[in-house]
Structure 1
Amino acid sequence: MPICVPIRDMKDAAAFAEPGHAAQAPAIVTKNGKETLVSMSSEIHEGLRPEAARAQLYAIVDKGISDIESGCSRDAKTLTADVRKQYDL
């Protein structure tokens, strides 16, 4: 469960880092009661990297499927023929 800390607590970096390491959870930093940024340990960050990469890959695949469904794609033979024709190859 993330913890919330006010931005003024960031003045002492060592004290600021302790609750996040103890709780093994991200710290949500607030300013005037609104979320400003998130601080997390390197272990938590490393754990999130594969998920972020997977989400990015899914977005690329979804875009490709969308392009195919909307007719914005060509097969390799047609593309090669068009490039050869365009550049007199």
Structure 2
Amino acid sequence: MPQIIPIRDLKNTSEISQMCHASNEPIFVTKNGYGDMVIMSMKLYEEKMFMLDVYKKLEEAEEEIAEGKVLDGEESLKKLREKYSV
């Protein structure tokens, strides 16, 4: 379940930092009862950005497959072996 805190609680920076590091989810900050910001630890941010990049690359790969932009694996390896005399 997501954690939701009011913006006035951001005054307690060390407590907020501990919450961010203890949570595996972003913390939602509200202002006047409405969503305003999202905060998270750097570690969680990097993990989320990494996964976002993975999903983006998978989506691009699926589009290339759908468009028929594929290479034959055996033929590609053969060309590489010839090029580098392996």
The alignment's TM-score, normalised by the length of structure 2, stands at 0.57
Q: 1:31 to 1:63 in 2, by over 3 A?
A: farther
- Within a 5 Å distance, the mapping from 1:25-44 to structure 2 comes to 25-44=25-44
> Could you tell me which amino acid in structure 2 is paired with residue 49 of structure 1?
M
CA offset digits 1:46-85 (Å, max 9, x no partner): 21122211343356567778xx7xxxxxxxxxxxxxxxxx
CA offset digits 1:1-52 (Å, max 9, x no partner): 3210101111221122222222333111111111111111112112112221
The alignment's TM-score, normalised by the length of structure 1, stands at 0.55
Aligned-pair identity in percent equals 30
Q: Which runs of 5+ in 2 are unaligned?
A: 68-86
Give aligned pairs, total: 69
Runs of 4+ off more than 6 Å: 62-65
TM-align CA RMSD: 2.6
